[in-house]
Amino acid sequence: MQSIDKIKLYRYRIPCQTGVVLRKQPLVERQGFIIQLERSGKMGFGEIAPLPTFSTETLEMAEQQLKRWCQSPTQNVEELYPSVAFGLSCALAELEGSLDEEGAFESALLCDGNMTTFKAKLAQTGSSLAKIKIGFDAKQEGVLANRLLTEFPQLQLRLDANRAWQQDQAVEFAQQIAKSLRSRIQFIEEPCQTPSLSRQFAQLTGIAIAWDETVREADFCVKKEPYLNAIVIKPTLVGSLAKCIDLIQQAHQQGLQVVISSSIESSLGLSQLARIAKQYTPESVAGLDTLHLMKVQLVRGWNGSSLPLADLQSEFIEPIQFA
């Protein structure tokens, strides 16, 4: 690796909108780090933001590892915590010019059950892809999915259950959806508490599934299976850019769709995810619709967002000494 002329490290704290909950834990503030690398006048930025209750490493663990790397930036990023590896690899990719500038900013339309609002959004965007967060009330959510598929014949659905259901609950959900409509569900992300139960659910109902949490298990191997349509990659939770690209290539070789997905990064990290999605998964709509959970943008704006943009000198960011 070529030498780096300057390294700057920052910590950020962004207030979140009220009501953001991660695995029953309120998220009132999103915290993370921004690293700025400079070589021959060229800048590279990366965001390191472990996601509470999801990441294996804590914010403090990530900070300690980051400081060590900044003092001696020769350690292979592949050996670092996933969030650290991802943020550093993005900064290095920007320095090297290997990350394309153009991003894919389209997202599936989120439907929370308010049909009036959803119809208005659909008319405004002309989208043909919607997403529902499920896993709370199987019957009610199944009724909603059936209604969307019935009322909007051009619509396809993605559903995200986060391993919330036992198999009988997942089957109850499916029973609310007409069999003739089920093929328009692109996939349900991890409907059941284990991959084995999710496979059984797919076989019983004919509804396709996608791996999300399973992708991050130590023994995960990309493998085409009956009813498996996609894998979901959350780079902050998976690791370096190289590791993510390798997973993408393996999946594409086996005919699986890949969805790049957010771990509630700031607009800086989200815009990099949009660039990764455009460069490596151009045929698939990414899952990056989380900026609305925050009250400001950071360093780089998200295409079309009206949220205020905070720079490195703002009240939301503080420099970190590592020498």
Residue 21, helix vs strand vs coil: strand
The label of the residue with tokens 């905070």 reads 310
Q: How many CB atoms within 10 Å of residue 236?
A: 26
Could you give the count of Cα atoms lying within 13 Å of 222 in the half-sphere of its Cβ? 21
Instruction: Let me know if 119 is a catalytic residue.
Output: no
The amino acid at 280: Y
Q: Are 239 and 86 in contact (CB under 8 A)?
A: yes
Q: How many CB atoms within 10 Å of residue 222?
A: 18
Q: Are 14 and 270 in contact (CB under 8 A)?
A: no
Give me the catalytic one of 133, 139, 223, 278: 133
Residues sharing a CB contact under 8 Å with residue 315, sequence separation 6 or more, in sequence order? none
Instruction: Let me know if 139 is a catalytic residue.
Output: no
Phi and psi at 191, nearest 5°, equal: -65, -30
Is 100 within any annotated ligand binding site? no
Query: Can you tell me the distance from the alpha carbon of 165 to that of 135, in angstroms, rounded to the nearest whole number?
Result: 6
Q: Are 49 and 33 in contact (CB under 8 A)?
A: yes
Q: How many CB atoms within 10 Å of residue 268?
A: 22
Is 189 within any annotated ligand binding site? yes
Give me the catalytic one of 131, 234, 243, 278: 234
Is 160 within any annotated ligand binding site? yes
| Known binding-site residue numbers | 160, 189, 212
| Known binding-site residue numbers for Mg(2+) | 160, 189, 212
Kindly list the catalytic residues: 133, 234
